[in-house]
């Protein structure tokens, strides 16, 4: 009995308790009973460890008033409640309104307090807010929320002028005023730097166009792989530390295309990711020796397959060094570029790549974190001496994201941000914002906070990088414009013409698949602005800031298979069927081809083909079209497809070994849709 008690799980979920306007989750924690300080008072059972069971309540869902009241509740049993709230509150209340509610509650509590010196529970909360979440108050040019907070702090400071403890309203008012001046100074410096950049752009003119003035490939081959990886890591880490975790939330990221530009720090990392991918592709396809060469020219100087193979080998070494530096962002970008259709189709080039480089390339793919699970990513990021600033991490964050003690503190980690964006979008899709009775689903925010905490920990680790700046490499990396997928594909065909001609649009089925961008368009069908209303085309690295982090379609990988994590199995996932549900991506072919525009939908084990087609048409804003005019086909590979029968259960009819990518195809007008009773597997797409 004693042994069983010692080995049982010390934390057990017990159930829920319902109160007016709130739902509490009940957890039973088994804790050891402290031994008696007097050894002589102990009886014959002193050799045994005694335990007691404690009941802990956590707020799972509540009204807005109760959520705010919980912040000021001294009996709140959840230590991380304030940080969970601060990380996610803007999904259901504005900063200014929260300030008003907090001070209204605090003033009411102060009026009821008869003690000589009022000890406000609001002080610690505001202190944490200013220290760790100051970006909440950045709202150029006037920063109204910050000014509102400053006004309230000054008023409270005048009322409670006899406060001696720290922090107090007076000290927080001073800290708030200093933060306001910091924001104003940063904006002034930014205006100056922006003016300088405009002058530089005017001086440089429009010299760069496609491949015409692409930096010399000879320079790339002269740079060491370690130096290139170091410069990439320096640039990536500088952008990653500026990422505002709140902007990674699915409900925020899904509105990234709005005029308000709600995710500028995320957008900056995307631009950098696409630039690296494009730089890799251009180094293989563009011929800079001829100043008159352009992406549309049909007769330019060409490198030999052997020369291009040496460039691929060099990029593989750069990727290997990025892996050594724990720069998973550029590592992903390089691997994605090498797997893009324009590069992957160069069979003669790949045939000339040596075996060791191919083995390294395969290993880098196989060991790259799976996109479905942040925990898998985290375990990989932090292994083999990967570092985080252990001594500088907040105890609260450290508790939420424990870091192995054996890790060195001499290097940092730059994650592939797409992994975290994907998981947060999955959470936003799978979990409702409100539950029965209109209560705010705070349990959803708690799970989002777990992911955001990991981002914050990794941002702290980036401060450990100490990499030299290579100005020539930096200029080379920035010295080109982005090619579209079509331009890249045309260049690739010029280098190695296809053996048999394809239809003009067939290449689009094999272009670089934007897994992240499509995964970030999932929606739960709620009345809020859904993520999938913002469409991202997979046609091109055109240089537009609307491009999303891209990663290759695993169906075109060179004999590589990606591991799938089974963590987070309570959520529907892309490319994995979990608990009778999964997330699939659906595009529509309507004759005009502008890239594969995917929409993600939640598929359950009850969904028939007709229902899936109807939902996909709605997601693509084609609800006025008749679903009976379309077929549903799963894209198994570049050469094989699976036609889903009209009356089939899609969840069971689909192939689970391929990507969960589907396409709706419309039958030509006047042609009757044939009846089908079986699946057709093996259709050639060429």
CB proximity list for 595: less than 8 A, separation 6 or greater: 485, 508, 511, 537, 538, 539, 540
Residue 670 is predicted with a pLDDT of 56
Question: Residue 73 carries which DSSP code?
Answer: -
Is pLDDT of 653 > 60?
A: yes
**Radius of gyration, CA atoms only, the chain:** 28
Closest alpha carbon to 332 in 270, 388, 257 = 270
Domain that holds residue 587: 572-681
Averaged over 118-127, what is the pLDDT? 88
Residues 576 and 485 in one domain: no
Rounded CA-CA distance 420/454 in Å is 9
Residue 215 is predicted with a pLDDT of 46
Name the token pair of 577: 């069927």
CATH number, position 647 = 3.10.20.90
Rounded CA-CA distance 277/266 in Å is 17
375 touches 591 (CB < 8 A): no
Around 644, how many Cα atoms within 13 Å sit in the side-chain half-sphere? 30
Rounded CA-CA distance 59/41 in Å is 41
User: Is 24 a member of any domain?
Assistant: yes
Residue 444 is predicted with a pLDDT of 93
- What band does 576 get if pLDDT is binned at 50, 70 and 90? confident
Name the token pair of 377: 């990513």
Q: Which of 148-157, 429-438, 444-453 has the lowest mean pLDDT?
A: 429-438
Residue 154 is predicted with a pLDDT of 93
DSSP 226-260: HHHHHHHHHHHHHHHTT--GGGGSHHHHTTTTSTT
Is pLDDT of 348 > 50?
A: yes
Rounded CA-CA distance 680/643 in Å is 5
User: Is 70 a member of any domain?
Assistant: no
Is pLDDT of 363 > 50?
A: yes
User: Is 144 a member of any domain?
Assistant: no
Is pLDDT of 590 > 60?
A: yes
Rounded CA-CA distance 531/316 in Å is 35
Residue 407 is predicted with a pLDDT of 34
Percent of the chain with pLDDT over 70: 67
Closest alpha carbon to 311 in 222, 195, 427 = 222
User: Number of folded domains in the chain?
Assistant: 3
pLDDT digits (tens, 9 = 90+) for 536-551: 233 333 333 333 343 3
Is pLDDT of 75 > 70?
A: yes
Rounded CA-CA distance 253/246 in Å is 9
Burial, 245: exposed, middle or buried (Cβ in 10 Å; 0-12, 13-18, 19+)? Answer: buried
Residues 218 and 295 in one domain: yes
User: Is 181 a member of any domain?
Assistant: no
Closest alpha carbon to 565 in 557, 576, 554 = 576
- What band does 157 get if pLDDT is binned at 50, 70 and 90? confident
User: Is 81 a member of any domain?
Assistant: no
Edge to edge, the sheet with strand 434-435 lists 11-19, 22-32, 51-62, 439-441, 434-435
Averaged over 300-325, what is the pLDDT? 88
Residues 597 and 501 in one domain: no
Q: Taking the model in full, what pTM does it have? A: 0.66
* Averaged confidence pLDDT in the chain: 74
Instruction: Mark out the alpha helices in 133-168 (DSSP H runs).
Output: 144-159
Is pLDDT of 251 > 80?
A: yes
Triad 526, 252, 615: Cα angle to 5°: 35
* Pairwise pLDDT comparison (77 vs 595), residue with the higher score: 77
Is pLDDT of 397 > 90?
A: no
DSSP 507-520: GGGGS--BHHHHHT
User: Is 591 a member of any domain?
Assistant: yes
* Pairwise pLDDT comparison (125 vs 16), residue with the higher score: 125
Beta bridge partners of 582: 603
Residue 499 is predicted with a pLDDT of 67
Rounded CA-CA distance 411/415 in Å is 13
Residues 589 and 473 in one domain: no
Is pLDDT of 647 > 70?
A: yes
User: Is 112 a member of any domain?
Assistant: no
Residue 325 is predicted with a pLDDT of 92
Residue 561 is predicted with a pLDDT of 37
Residues 320 and 413 in one domain: yes
Residues 327 and 229 in one domain: yes
Rounded CA-CA distance 674/646 in Å is 10
Beta bridge partners of 634: 642, 662
Residue 426 is predicted with a pLDDT of 82
- What band does 518 get if pLDDT is binned at 50, 70 and 90? very low
Residue 178 is predicted with a pLDDT of 95
Residue 221 is predicted with a pLDDT of 82
For residue 116, how many other CB atoms are within 10 A of its CB? Answer: 6
Residue 359 is predicted with a pLDDT of 92
Residue 365 is predicted with a pLDDT of 84
Averaged over 24-31, what is the pLDDT? 83
Rounded CA-CA distance 467/230 in Å is 6
Residue 209 is predicted with a pLDDT of 39
Residue 625 is predicted with a pLDDT of 84
Residues 578 and 495 in one domain: no
Residue 206 is predicted with a pLDDT of 43
654 touches 660 (CB < 8 A): yes
CB proximity list for 475: less than 8 A, separation 6 or greater: 215
DSSP 281-350: HHHHH--TT-TT--TT-S------HHHHHHHHHHHHHHHHHHHHTTBHHHHHHHHHHHTSHHHHT-HHHH
pLDDT digits (tens, 9 = 90+) for 295-310: 444 445 567 889 999 9
Averaged over 354-376, what is the pLDDT? 76
Residue 409 is predicted with a pLDDT of 37
Residues 508 and 585 in one domain: no
Question: Residue 28 carries which DSSP code?
Answer: E
Rounded CA-CA distance 27/16 in Å is 9
Rounded CA-CA distance 222/286 in Å is 17
Name the token pair of 326: 């724990």
Closest alpha carbon to 382 in 435, 450, 454, 292 = 454
Is pLDDT of 595 > 50?
A: no
Residue 288 is predicted with a pLDDT of 54
Averaged over 369-381, what is the pLDDT? 48
Rounded CA-CA distance 245/445 in Å is 13
Name the token pair of 206: 């429009």
Residue 218 is predicted with a pLDDT of 53
* Pairwise pLDDT comparison (15 vs 327), residue with the higher score: 327
Residues 442 and 581 in one domain: no
In which residue are the tokens 């052997």 written?
306
Q: Which of 25-29, 62-66, 152-156, 631-635 has the lowest mean pLDDT?
A: 25-29
Residue 8 is predicted with a pLDDT of 61
* Pairwise pLDDT comparison (606 vs 407), residue with the higher score: 606
Averaged over 129-155, what is the pLDDT? 93
CATH number, position 389 = 1.10.840.10
Residues 590 and 510 in one domain: no
- What band does 39 get if pLDDT is binned at 50, 70 and 90? low
Rounded CA-CA distance 23/63 in Å is 10
Residues 607 and 498 in one domain: no
User: Is 642 a member of any domain?
Assistant: yes
Residues 234 and 376 in one domain: yes
* Pairwise pLDDT comparison (337 vs 538), residue with the higher score: 337
pLDDT digits (tens, 9 = 90+) for 199-213: 544 444 444 434 544
């Amino acid at each position: 009995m004693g042994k069983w008690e010692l080995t049982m799980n010390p934390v057990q979920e017990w159930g829920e308790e319902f109160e007016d306007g709130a739902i509490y989750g009940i957890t039973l924690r088994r804790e050891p009973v402290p031994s008696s300080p007097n050894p002589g008072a102990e009886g014959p059972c002193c050799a045994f460890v005694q335990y007691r069971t404690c009941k802990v309540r956590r707020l799972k869902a509540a009204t807005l008033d109760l959520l705010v009241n919980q912040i000021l509740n001294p009996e709140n049993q959840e230590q991380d409640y304030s940080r969970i709230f601060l990380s996610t509150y803007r999904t259901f209340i504005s900063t200014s309104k929260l300030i008003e509610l907090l001070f209204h509650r605090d003033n009411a509590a102060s009026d009821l307090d008869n003690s000589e010196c009022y000890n406000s529970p609001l002080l610690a909360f505001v202190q944490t807010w200013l220290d760790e979440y100051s970006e909440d108050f950045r709202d150029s040019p006037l920063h109204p929320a910050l000014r509102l907070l400053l006004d309230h702090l000054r008023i409270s400071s005048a009322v409670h002028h006899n406060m001696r403890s720290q922090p107090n309203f007076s000290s927080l008012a001073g800290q708030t005023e200093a933060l306001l001046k910091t924001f104003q100074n940063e904006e002034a410096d930014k205006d100056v730097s922006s003016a300088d950049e405009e002058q530089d752009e005017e001086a440089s003119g429009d010299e760069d166009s496609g491949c015409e003035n692409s930096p010399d490939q000879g320079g790339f081959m002269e740079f060491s792989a370690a130096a290139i990886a170091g410069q990439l890591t320096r640039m990536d880490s500088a952008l990653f530390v500026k990422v505002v975790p709140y902007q990674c939330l699915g409900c925020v990221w899904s509105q990234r295309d709005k005029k308000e530009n709600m995710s500028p720090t995320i957008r900056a990392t995307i631009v950098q990711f696409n630039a690296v991918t494009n730089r890799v592709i251009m180094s293989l396809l563009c011929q800079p020796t001829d100043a008159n060469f352009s992406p549309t020219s049909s007769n330019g100087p060409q490198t030999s397959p052997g020369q291009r193979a040496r460039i691929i080998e060099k990029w593989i070494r750069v990727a290997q060094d990025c892996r050594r530096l724990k720069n998973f962002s550029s590592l992903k970008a390089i691997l994605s570029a090498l797997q893009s259709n324009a590069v992957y189709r160069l069979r003669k080039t790949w045939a000339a790549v040596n075996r060791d480089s191919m083995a390294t390339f395969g290993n880098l793919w196989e060991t790259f974190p799976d996109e479905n699970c942040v925990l898998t990513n985290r375990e990989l990021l932090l292994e083999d001496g990967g570092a985080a600033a252990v001594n500088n991490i907040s105890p609260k964050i450290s508790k939420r994201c424990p870091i192995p003690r054996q890790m060195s503190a001499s290097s940092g980690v730059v994650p592939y941000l797409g992994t975290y964006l994907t998981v947060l979008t999955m959470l936003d899709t799978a979990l409702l914002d409100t539950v029965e009775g209109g209560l705010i689903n705070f349990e959803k925010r708690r799970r989002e906070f777990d992911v955001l905490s990991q981002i914050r920990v990794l941002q702290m680790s980036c401060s450990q990088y100490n990499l030299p700046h290579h100005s020539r490499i930096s200029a080379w990396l920035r010295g080109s414009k982005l090619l579209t997928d079509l331009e890249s594909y045309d260049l690739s065909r010029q280098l190695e013409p296809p053996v048999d001609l394809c239809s003009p649009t067939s290449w689009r089925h094999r272009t670089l698949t934007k897994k992240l961008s499509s995964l970030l368009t999932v929606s739960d069908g709620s009345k809020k602005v859904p993520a999938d209303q913002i469409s991202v085309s997979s046609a091109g690295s055109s240089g537009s800031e609307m491009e999303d982090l891209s990663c290759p379609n695993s169906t075109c990988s060179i004999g590589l298979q990606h591991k799938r994590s089974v963590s987070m199995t309570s959520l529907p996932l892309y490319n994995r069927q979990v608990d009778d549900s999964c997330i699939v991506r659906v595009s529509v072919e309507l004759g005009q081809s502008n890239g594969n525009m995917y929409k993600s939908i939640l598929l359950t084990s009850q969904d028939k083909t007709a229902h899936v087609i109807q939902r996909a048409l709605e997601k693509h804003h084609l609800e006025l079209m008749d679903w009976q005019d379309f077929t549903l086909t799963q894209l198994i590979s570049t050469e094989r497809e699976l036609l889903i029968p009209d009356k089939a259960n899609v969840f069971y009819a689909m192939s689970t070994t391929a990507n969960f990518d589907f396409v709706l195809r419309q039958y030509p007008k006047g042609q009757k849709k044939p009846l089908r009773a079986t699946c057709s597997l093996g259709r050639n797409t060429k």
